[in-house]
């Protein structure tokens, strides 16, 4: 079966970023890439801050943060009064976990597709409180209906105090039917935290339409914001119960200001985030989403063919705008976190390609991303060099 043609490149898009042209950057999902316009906006804010620090921090900064929050919440389709800026999805998840008041006998429920750092946070909170962490196994090929049924069967009303589910999984690049999952959990009185680290900018669904008790997503991945920009959205019944990880001078202001004000943090990433969204909108949000998803699908087939993977064995992420795709590695490769990191480093060093290598269900996987600065030739070069590299075990 022939590989479908890649999408037409978006002219001039590569020039909007300061990426090293000698490297194939095929891992946008891990740390994103900040457009030059957003970099410059942040630098201007830093210059303003350093020119008069006292003025910057004490005259209008809280209002500027609130204005930015409203802008970002509007883009996400979220209630601005229920949104708070934070540094990343992992931080937002930690805030929710420590605000729950877990006790012995309670449990936090997740799937086996969850993000590793969030799992660490869950386990720490469980050790501290005496609660337990239970993990549901969800096959990679499960349909949406099957995923919902697995969650339905796994809930323990009265004991399950929180369900954490990914909107788009990091390790397996799988889109989950989060709105349906939230509905099922709500029928049993179980609050849901949606880890939407990869959603803003990539996925079109609005936060309101999902209806989760808690939703947290990064703007510094697919939303082109400077790193350290995320939004935590909290439903009305929970807002008064949300406490920051560190208490500072806006504590008495309530949510969201008590969460956002973290002493003398560098707030310039948040304040310049709208410049990143400006780049995305200038290129055309729908156009970018379609391009990126099509390019990731093309890369998956090209690299999959090079490794002898039948098209039927290449996982489908389940959504037309998903710009991350998996390619299974040969058996025995990258089956541990250390092994995955070692292979990722070898690919960067020898093939000049930055590609995520993940480990899930005892197998290693490549996670290929598509972004406006990528071109088909980058996936083709990876496909040419990768088989020989993998043969040198």
C-beta atoms surrounding 117 within 10 Å: 16
Band of the pLDDT at 1, cuts 50, 70, 90?
low
Per-residue model confidence as pLDDT tens digits over 78-122: 999 999 999 999 999 999 999 999 999 999 999 999 999 999 999
Whole-angstrom distance, CA of residue 387 vs CA of residue 303:
9
Mean of the pLDDT values across residues 364-383? 98
3-state secondary structure of 185: helix
Beta bridge partner(s), residue 86: 230
Q: What are phi and psi of 3, to 5 degrees?
A: -80, 130
Band of the pLDDT at 392, cuts 50, 70, 90?
confident
Per-residue model confidence as pLDDT tens digits over 226-282: 999 999 999 999 999 999 999 999 999 999 999 999 989 999 999 999 999 999 999
In this prediction the pTM is: 0.96
Whole-angstrom distance, CA of residue 197 vs CA of residue 115:
9
Segments in 77-177 forming alpha helices (H): 89-99, 116-129, 144-154
Per-residue model confidence as pLDDT tens digits over 125-135: 999 999 999 99
C-beta atoms surrounding 85 within 10 Å: 27
Q: Report the side by side order of strands in the sheet with 107-111.
A: 83-86, 230-234, 214-218, 192-195, 160-166, 107-111, 132-136
Per-residue model confidence as pLDDT tens digits over 339-362: 999 999 999 999 999 999 999 999
């Amino acid at each position: 079966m022939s590989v479908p043609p890649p999408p037409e490149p978006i002219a001039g898009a590569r020039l909007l970023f300061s990426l090293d042209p000698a490297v194939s950057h095929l891992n946008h999902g891990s740390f994103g890439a900040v457009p030059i316009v957003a970099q410059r906006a942040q630098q201007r804010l830093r210059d303003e801050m350093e020119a008069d620090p006292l003025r910057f921090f004490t005259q209008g900064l809280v209002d500027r943060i609130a204005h930015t929050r409203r802008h970002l919440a509007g883009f996400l389709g979220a209630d601005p009064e229920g949104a708070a800026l934070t540094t990343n999805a992992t931080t937002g998840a930690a805030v929710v976990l420590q605000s729950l008041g877990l006790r012995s006998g309670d449990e936090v429920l997740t799937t086996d597709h969850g993000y590793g750092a969030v799992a660490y946070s869950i386990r720490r909170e469980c050790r501290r409180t005496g609660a337990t962490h239970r993990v549901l196994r969800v096959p990679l090929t499960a349909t949406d209906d099957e995923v919902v049924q697995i969650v339905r069967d796994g809930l323990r009303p009265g004991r399950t105090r929180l369900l954490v589910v990914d909107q788009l999984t990091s390790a397996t690049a799988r889109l989950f039917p989060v709105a349906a999952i939230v509905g099922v959990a709500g029928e049993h009185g179980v609050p849901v935290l949606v880890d939407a680290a990869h959603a803003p900018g990539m996925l079109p669904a609005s936060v309101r339409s999902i209806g989760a008790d808690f939703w947290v997503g990064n703007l510094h991945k697919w939303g082109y914001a400077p790193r350290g920009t995320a939004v935590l959205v909290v439903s009305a019944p929970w807002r008064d119960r949300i406490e920051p990880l560190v208490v500072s001078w806006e504590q008495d202001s309530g949510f969201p200001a008590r969460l956002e004000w973290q002493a003398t943090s560098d707030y310039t990433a948040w304040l310049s985030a709208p410049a990143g969204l400006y780049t995305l909108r200038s290129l055309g949000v729908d156009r970018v989403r379609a391009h990126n998803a099509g390019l990731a699908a093309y890369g998956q087939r090209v690299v999959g063919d090079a490794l002898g993977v039948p098209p039927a064995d290449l996982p489908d992420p389940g959504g037309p705008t998903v710009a991350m795709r998996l390619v299974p590695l040969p058996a025995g490769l990258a089956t541990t976190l250390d092994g995955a990191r070692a292979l990722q480093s070898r690919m960067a060093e020898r093939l000049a390609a930055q590609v995520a290598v993940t480990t899930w269900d005892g197998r290693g996987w490549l996670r290929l991303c598509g972004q406006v600065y990528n071109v088909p030739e980058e996936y083709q070069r990876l496909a040419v060099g990768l088989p020989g590299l993998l043969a040198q075990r």
